[in-house]
Amino acid sequence: MTSPMTTIDVVVLTMNDRPAAFGQAMASLLAQQDVELRVVIVGNGVEPDHVPTGVSTVTLPANEGIPQGRNVGADALTGPDCGDFVFFFDNDAVLPTPDILARLVAEARRHPEAAYIQPRIADPDTGVTMRRWVPRLRAGDATRPGTITVMAEGVVLVRRSDYERAGGWPGHFFLFHEGIDLSWRLWDVGRTGWYAPGIVIHHPATDPARHDTFYRLVARNRVWLAYRRLPAVLIPIYLTIWTLLSIVRIRSRANLAVWFAGLREGLRGGHGQRRPMSWTTVLRLTLAGRPPIV
């Protein structure tokens, strides 16, 4: 178990649209033991309500999206007393026992090479871990621990020093694929990630396609991700593979048309600063089980 002096900065986003779930999430967070918490709630286009005592807030005048909201929250907690770790916590997740964060920190201590520790996410009613929550290609066994190259960004513990060195989340992505961008950047500065499925966090099993902009943003952000992080020769390979996969997976012609509109939007630019990973990082990712073209 970790020392009570270990400080974790916790970033929670809200749009004041989940009062019941938000209350449960915050109660489970503030019940954590054997760690010191500094918590900020970021209101994305709203002034946060139902704020527990002792929790700070930041109000953004407009909804700037999830990754930028996380950046703002992490920045709000910087300073001489900032934590060793930053924990990004969805406002409809629940920490089912009061030792979750202490166990995540202990896992980080056991894996000093890992910039981030990913717990297993499970639906509270069924216990099912969805494939998209398992941060590796072979997702059939959600209980197998190991080194990972991407993350399920809604509940993840990141070392503060690594987060800052990597430059944080790609704020302009708004939603989707921001975790791949940050993971690749962390690997490119010589770090790794670790999946700790023995530590379980509850989260309702929702469909990401419920968002009106899902198909457009996943396509646009794939392009942006490729242009930001991949060596030039890998960009057309990556985009070709994901275009073919999307044609196979998306059964609705209307949704596919939206997806291609997002692809064209991404190709027109707007990806931001290009900092392609080194070929050494390409090799490391490949040896870790996920070459950065899939």
Is there a single domain that holds both residue 116 and residue 51?
yes
Q: Say what the pLDDT of residue 4 is.
A: 55
- Please state, in angstroms and rounded to a whole number, the distance separating the CA atoms of residues 181 and 34: 32
Q: Say what the pLDDT of residue 206 is.
A: 79
Is there a single domain that holds both residue 163 and residue 192?
yes
Q: Are 50 and 22 in contact (CB under 8 A)?
A: yes
* Domain-terminating residue out of 149, 179, 206: 206
Q: Is residue 2 part of a domain?
A: no
Q: Say what the pLDDT of residue 64 is.
A: 96
Residue 278 has φ and ψ, to the nearest 5°, of: -75, 165
Q: Is residue 290 part of a domain?
A: no
Is there a single domain that holds both residue 218 and residue 195?
no
State how beta strands 36-44 and 7-14 pair: parallel
Composition of the chain by helix, strand, coil, percent to 5: 40, 20, 40
**DSSP one-letter string for 27-48:** HHHHT--SSEEEEEEEEESS--
Is there a single domain that holds both residue 60 and residue 152?
yes
Q: Is residue 24 part of a domain?
A: yes
Q: Is residue 141 part of a domain?
A: yes
- Please state, in angstroms and rounded to a whole number, the distance separating the CA atoms of residues 207 and 262: 19
SS3 assignment, position 259: helix
- Please state, in angstroms and rounded to a whole number, the distance separating the CA atoms of residues 88 and 10: 6
Among 7, 37, 1, which Cα is nearest to 159's? 7
Q: Is residue 75 part of a domain?
A: yes
Among 248, 2, 229, 244, which Cα is nearest to 107's? 2
Residues in contact with 279: Cβ distance below 8 Å, sequence separation at least 6, in sequence order: 231
Is there a single domain that holds both residue 116 and residue 45?
yes
Number of domains in the chain: 2
The single-letter DSSP state of residue 94 is B
Residues of the chain with pLDDT under 70: 1-4, 209-211
> Residue 18 sits in a domain of what CATH number?
3.90.550.10
Among 118, 30, 37, which Cα is nearest to 83's? 37
Residues in contact with 85: Cβ distance below 8 Å, sequence separation at least 6, in sequence order: 6, 7, 8, 9, 104, 105, 108, 157, 158, 159, 160
What domain range is 217 assigned to? 213-277
